[in-house]
Amino acid sequence: MSETHPPAHERLSCVYGRIRLAAARAGRAADAVTLVAVSKTFAASAIEPFLAAGHEDFGENRVQEALRKWPPLRESYARARLHLVGALQSNKAREAVATFDAIHSLDRDSLAEALAAECARQGRAPLLFVQVNTGAEPQKSGVAVSRTEAFVRRCRETLGLNVQGLMCLPPETHAPGPHFALLRQLARDCGLELLSMGMSGDFETAVQIGATHVRIGSSLFGSRAAAGDPAVSLE
């Protein structure tokens, strides 16, 4: 597509404008924030206008869905970077390492081991974020706050994984700010630079607290329920 699609372009400018304002309020540079456009459940035809508008970072939450949608898109837009933002089963580690440039959901030892084996086998080193269960929610994945430092050290030093950041999904019923601040403190304690935090409903707060990666779906692509999402759940 040679022409940029006006709605995609406008939605991107609007979200980037909000990121710039939030960054400015915190005295941060807006270009320190990567906007990951979460295109899960949306068809390639809905994603393409964003690629045509020059956007490069996209997020998916399922390996199989990404494998269906992205190979043809990447043929036309070789600069696109793909982020896995959803839970990853260890038996999909091979496809995940082959497909994604970044994985935001490293949350347990068995997955760390599977990813390390695949990174060595494929000679690839996707950027990794350790997901932390900052709200200690039993139904949510993520490493416990108290185990985060030891887990990060094991991933980096013992397994040689390219862990550079932390990620969290605050409990839906809590104010997100304290969770983002806790994640920032944990990252400092671990010596990590990157923070994947903030979604459509709370990304300005996340940017003010130091997010380097915001994961934004509905503010860019519209409501997933309207797109026929069978599972709007974040897990």
Q: Give the footprint of ligand PLP on this chain (CB under 6 A).
A: 38, 40, 61, 85-86, 169, 199-201, 215-219, 234
Distance CA(69)–CA(78), nearest Å, equals 14
Name which of 123 and 230 has its Cβ closer to ligand PLP: 230
Are 93 and 111 within 8 A, CB to CB?
yes
Total length of the chain = 235
Distance CA(225)–CA(54), nearest Å, equals 26
CB of 121 to ligand PLP, least distance (A): 27
CB of 228 to ligand PLP, least distance (A): 15
Distance CA(124)–CA(101), nearest Å, equals 9
CB of 145 to ligand PLP, least distance (A): 18
Name which of 21 and 120 has its Cβ closer to ligand PLP: 21
Name the DSSP letter for residue 5.
P
Query: Which residue's C-beta sits nearest to ligand PLP?
Result: 217
CB of 82 to ligand PLP, least distance (A): 14
Token pair in block for residue 4: 């940029």
CB of 192 to ligand PLP, least distance (A): 18
Name which of 76 and 182 has its Cβ closer to ligand PLP: 182
Query: Residue 36, exposed/middle/buried by CB under 10 A (0-12, 13-18, 19+)?
Result: buried
Q: How many CA atoms lie within 13 A of 121 on its CB side?
A: 12
Name which of 21 and 150 has its Cβ closer to ligand PLP: 21
Name which of 162 and 200 has its Cβ closer to ligand PLP: 200
